[in-house]
Amino acid sequence: SDHYQGDQSLIDRELKEKYKEALHLLPPRCAEVFRLVREERKKYSEVAELLGISVKTVDNQMNKAVKLLYAQLKENLFAIFF
């Protein structure tokens, strides 16, 4: 059980590191929108007002961020687990 916990915390740390690396690869506005929504738990309308952009632009930036992060992280997930 301790061995599993050690492995799990190592995987968690690696995943967090890969996530941070992937975030740095996003275009700046895209990363900012993603961070505000996902990490600061702001609503799209709040982010739009804060950044002076439309809610549709927030939605577009979030979709772009998720696609780019998924593409980046799926490569790393394979490397971590296999």
The proportion of the chain whose per-residue pLDDT surpasses 70, expressed as a percent, equals: 85
Distance CA 59, CA 79 (A): 30
When pLDDT is cut at 50, 70 and 90, the band that residue 7 belongs to is confident
pLDDT at 81: 64
Whether the Cβ atoms of residue 64 and residue 30 lie closer than 8 Å to each other:
yes
* C-alpha separations of 17 from 10, 72, 81 in Å: 11, 12, 15
Encode pLDDT of 19-78 as tens digits: 888 999 999 999 999 999 999 999 999 999 999 999 999 999 999 999 999 888 887 776
When pLDDT is cut at 50, 70 and 90, the band that residue 18 belongs to is confident
Its pTM stands at: 0.77
